[in-house]
Amino acid sequence: MALRLLLLRHGETAWNRERRYQGWTDTPLSAEGLVQAEAAARELKEHAFAAVYASPLQRARDTAVAIAAPHGLAVETDPAFMELGFGQWEGLTLDEARAGFPALYEGWAKTPHLVSPPGGESLVQARERTLGGLARLRAGHPDAVVCLVAHGIPVRILILEVLGLGLERIWSLHSAPTGISELEFRDDWTALHRMNTLVHLDAVPAGR
């Protein structure tokens, strides 16, 4: 028996385009993000999903709604899969965070497992809740195909878990808006079948 998990980051938001930290701020999808979500839905429509899950934040939930619609499924939300809480950095661009917190920002870039955004979560805390959510998915769907729409940090955490890598490697992975990864969880092994694939966006006109 195996849980096969189709794992996506949400579609683009205006803050993504502006390179702003979002965290727990509940930003909506941009027009481009809505187009990306529909493209992902078309790519995944042939999968026999037992369930579609999402972070409760609007950008993830709305992406998941688009994916769930062709399957006649309602989206189930779990706060375990919310983005890392970035505290005082939420709403700041990367350049603004770098200028305002130079030493902390350097630590976040080089040793992210050892520091936390000011007033925010640590990667260790985010990992604990994300893996708690994964345990619930595995218990509830021990032999099924499930879709999960989350955020950049939880997506990376789940892939690192499958690969047996630590949080210090989190910036080695890229997670693009609606990038699709496929993970398999069995009792005695795990596998990564694909990571951050974006072929579904090839047919989306540039600038949409």
Q: Which residues belong to the active site? A: 10, 83
Angle value at C-alpha 83, between 144 and 145, nearest 5 degrees:
10
**In whole angstroms, what is the distance from residue 194 CA to residue 5 CA?**
11
**In whole angstroms, what is the distance from residue 140 CA to residue 97 CA?**
40
Half-sphere exposure of 174 (CA within 13 A, CB side): 6
**In whole angstroms, what is the distance from residue 30 CA to residue 18 CA?**
12
Tokens coding 182: 């496929």
Query: What's 55's DSSP letter?
Result: -
**In whole angstroms, what is the distance from residue 142 CA to residue 144 CA?**
6
Residue 194's DSSP bridge partners are 182
Residue carrying the six token digits 């072929």: 199
